[in-house]
Amino acid sequence: MEENHGHSTRACRPGESDGLDQRVMTGPPPDRWREPARDLPVLARPDVLVVGAGSAGVSAALAAARRGADTWLVEKLGFVGGLATFGLINLLLTLDDGEGHQVVAGQCQEFVDRLSALGAARFPDRSEWGSEDPDRVENWRRWGLVWGRPPENVRYSVAFEPEAFVNVSHELLREAGVHIRLHTSCTATYGSEDRVETVVVESKSGREVLAPTVVIDTTGDGDVFHYAGAAYDLTRVYPFQWFRMGGVVDTSSDRPGRGWFRTTDPGRVLVPWGGPGAVDFRIDPTDAEDLTRAELECRRGVMAEVSGLRDREPGFADAWLDDIAKLLGITESRRLTGDYILAKEDVDRVFDDAVARTGHWTRRGVVFDIPYRCLTTPRVTNLLTAGRCISTSRYVHQATKEIPAAMATGEAAGAAAVAALGTGGLVHGVDVAGLRDDLRRRGAIVDGAADPD
């Protein structure tokens, strides 16, 4: 499945206005209303603030708190996991290089172990990784774990249950002592020229402030680095909206693995709906009007597809709609222009400052080491980013946006934030060799040399 077809980008530069005109004026222009200044309560001054509790944010907060930092995790929705949970993207693609070697481990592997112990994950045994045996390939295709062009093989990828992912996240975050704040959006940052001093959040409790030493942007959309004035690219994309159906009594036709995937619950299937072919428009994922249109039109499309499946597919006649993704499937929006932009030519390249690795879900043998500099921006000294908005080209983003890679960059960012506390939060002052050792010691794979195979 091609996930990205749009190529409309807009570069924003440090200091570019986000619409709130900061100039001193005698009065606002006619189409503006000037908000009165007021004092806001300071909620906390944590060592590390992680904004956005998707898979990258959960991993970042976990890594920071486990290293002893006072850590806050702020999420605008009422659940953690982001696209990986109730975006219904319930497939970890991939933890391997397509040649039978694991390239993502660490906290992502810990999640797989926990989910597996709960019976909430399915994945091929190590002995199957890399196999081209047609029966094995077909079996794992039905779980949504085989993609790309022939000759296909079995990858180390994982199908999982989203409720279990949320429960495991809560358990691990609680054990680590992370302060979780749900239903709370980051809406602005303020600070000096090159430092985020305060992060403004909004919720039912009103408008409040957090004053962290280091802030990690795991919003997927790069909201924090946008507010902080960092440079980035923004892409328009086709929206997706995956959904699940229950009561499917026969999945033996030749469509499983193409039209829908098996899940860990018998009779329940996951349908990867949306994108080009299903939707004929692209959206700016940072524009509320576009997002609203996508929600309304995708839901209509999903309901039509549910009827179509019932009518035409064997075993679906009495099936019901279980749930529709609560988060639109946005493959890409803002990508940071960081201290390094990882590009296609960097495949297999060795970096002294690599802090994570990733394979490619459709391309066998394609592996990228991810330098620490893809998580930092020259513009802001105490800001890190992780997950789908790190600094890469659009091509490489296809690999780094995947959930295992997002968890790996999240883990690296959380560890780096703690390393930066020694220098007052200066992320460019981190001893990267020490950071790499720290990550490796705790089971992460940071480069080819650490590959256990």
Ligand X SMILES: Cc1cc2nc3c(=O)[nH]c(=O)nc-3n(C[C@H](O)[C@H](O)[C@H](O)COP(=O)(O)OP(=O)(O)OC[C@H]3O[C@@H](n4cnc5c(N)ncnc54)[C@H](O)[C@@H]3O)c2cc1C
Residues that bind ligand X (CB under 6 A): 3, 51-57, 74-77, 82-84, 89, 91-93, 185-186, 218-221, 223, 240, 329-331, 387-388, 401-403, 406
How near is the Cβ of 89 to ligand X at its closest, in Å? Answer: 4
How near is the Cβ of 290 to ligand X at its closest, in Å? Answer: 15
403 vs 432 by CB, closer to ligand X: 403
Whether the CB-CB separation of 221 and 389 falls below 8 Å is answered with yes
220 vs 315 by CB, closer to ligand X: 220
Closest CA to 302 of 285, 316, 323: 323
Residue 358 per-residue DSSP state: E
Closest CA to 20 of 6, 38, 41, 35: 35
* Helical packing angle, 55-66 and 106-117, nearest 10°: 100
403 vs 435 by CB, closer to ligand X: 403
Kindly give, in sequence order, each residue whose CB lies less than 8 Å from that of residue 143, ignoring residues fewer than 6 positions away.
91, 122, 159, 257, 261, 262
How near is the Cβ of 126 to ligand X at its closest, in Å? Answer: 19
Q: How far is Cα 171 from Cα 65, in angstroms, rounded to an integer?
A: 13
Q: How far is Cα 190 from Cα 419, in angstroms, rounded to an integer?
A: 23
386 vs 446 by CB, closer to ligand X: 386
89 vs 342 by CB, closer to ligand X: 89
Whether the CB-CB separation of 367 and 359 falls below 8 Å is answered with yes
218 vs 263 by CB, closer to ligand X: 218
Peptide bond into 212 cis (omega under 30): no
92 vs 319 by CB, closer to ligand X: 92
Rg (CA), the chain: 22
268 vs 388 by CB, closer to ligand X: 388
How near is the Cβ of 91 to ligand X at its closest, in Å? Answer: 4
Closest CA to 381 of 435, 341, 333, 417: 417
Tokens of 421: 């506390």
Closest CA to 385 of 339, 329, 437, 320: 339
178 vs 315 by CB, closer to ligand X: 178
337 vs 409 by CB, closer to ligand X: 409
Q: How far is Cα 453 from Cα 449, in angstroms, rounded to an integer?
A: 10
Residue 279 per-residue DSSP state: B
188 vs 426 by CB, closer to ligand X: 188
Q: How far is Cα 208 from Cα 210, in angstroms, rounded to an integer?
A: 7
How near is the Cβ of 303 to ligand X at its closest, in Å? Answer: 18
How near is the Cβ of 218 to ligand X at its closest, in Å? Answer: 5
How near is the Cβ of 29 to ligand X at its closest, in Å? Answer: 26
How near is the Cβ of 398 to ligand X at its closest, in Å? Answer: 9
3-state secondary structure of 66: helix
Buried b (16+ CB within 10 A) or exposed e, 21-49: eeeeeeeeeeeeeeeeeeeeeebeebbbb
Tokens of 90: 């319930």
How many helices and strands, by DSSP H and E, does the chain display? 9, 21
How near is the Cβ of 178 to ligand X at its closest, in Å? Answer: 15
CA dihedral 23, 26, 31, 32 (to 10 degrees): 60
How near is the Cβ of 412 to ligand X at its closest, in Å? Answer: 13
CA dihedral 220, 223, 225, 230 (to 10 degrees): 110
63 vs 77 by CB, closer to ligand X: 77
How near is the Cβ of 184 to ligand X at its closest, in Å? Answer: 7
How near is the Cβ of 358 to ligand X at its closest, in Å? Answer: 10
Residue 33 per-residue DSSP state: -
